[in-house]
Amino acid sequence: MTEIITFNEALDAAIKKEEAAVEFYKTALKIVKYPGAKDMLNSFVEEEKRHVLLLTEAKVSNEMSAVGKTNLPPDLSITKFLVDEKITEKSTPQDVMVAAMKNEDNAVSLYAQQVKAFKGSELESVFQSLMNMEKEHKEHLETEYEKHFMPDN
């Protein structure tokens, strides 16, 4: 990410990242054949669209109060133990969830780096909020993954 110096530029970059996530999941929708995987991807598209809307509203209102403020579930760290999955026409719902979790984990890492880079500035809280939003989505995915694909835990 290029150097970001204003609140609006930070939000513009975040909106572009969320729009890219929408496109990632839409592209995956064109590839997968399993109905369960398609349903899951459709829900991911809608979730990322909600992120774009939240960020756009934050930009218009010039505040981040509604973004990333929910209580985060515990970090299950499932993504640390999974191998990156490319989504193909044979991707199962499990494969799709792995790809989605990795995608969200990468977003968390990106925003965590920005929190450190802008420590002490007004943008630190912006990136903290964005990171929390992505963490929330990642943890939701990990919880669902554990429930459906790791029933013995």
What is the number of structural domains in the chain?
1
Rounded to two decimals, the pTM is 0.71
| 129 occurs within a structural domain | yes
Mean pLDDT, residues 52-61 taken together? 84
Q: For the beta carbon of residue 109, count every other beta carbon within 10 angstroms.
A: 12
- Whether the predicted pLDDT of 75 surpasses 80: no
| 1 occurs within a structural domain | no
| 75 occurs within a structural domain | no
| 107 occurs within a structural domain | yes
| 47 occurs within a structural domain | yes
Contacts of 17 (CB under 8 A, 6+ apart): 107, 110
- Whether the predicted pLDDT of 74 surpasses 60: no
| 68 occurs within a structural domain | no
Q: What percent of the chain has pLDDT over 70?
A: 81
- Left (φ > 0), alpha (ψ -120 to 50) or beta: where does 120 sit? left
Q: Which burial class, exposed, middle or buried, applies to 5 when counting CB atoms under 10 A from its CB (0-12, 13-18, 19+)?
A: exposed
- The pLDDT confidence band at residue 66, using thresholds 50, 70 and 90, is very low
Question: What phi, psi does 69 have (nearest 5°)?
Answer: -110, 0
Tell me the residue range of the domain where 95 lies. 7-63+80-149
Taking only the tens place, the pLDDT of each residue in 81-133 is 565 667 788 878 888 888 888 888 888 888 888 888 888 877 788 788 888 88
| 53 occurs within a structural domain | yes
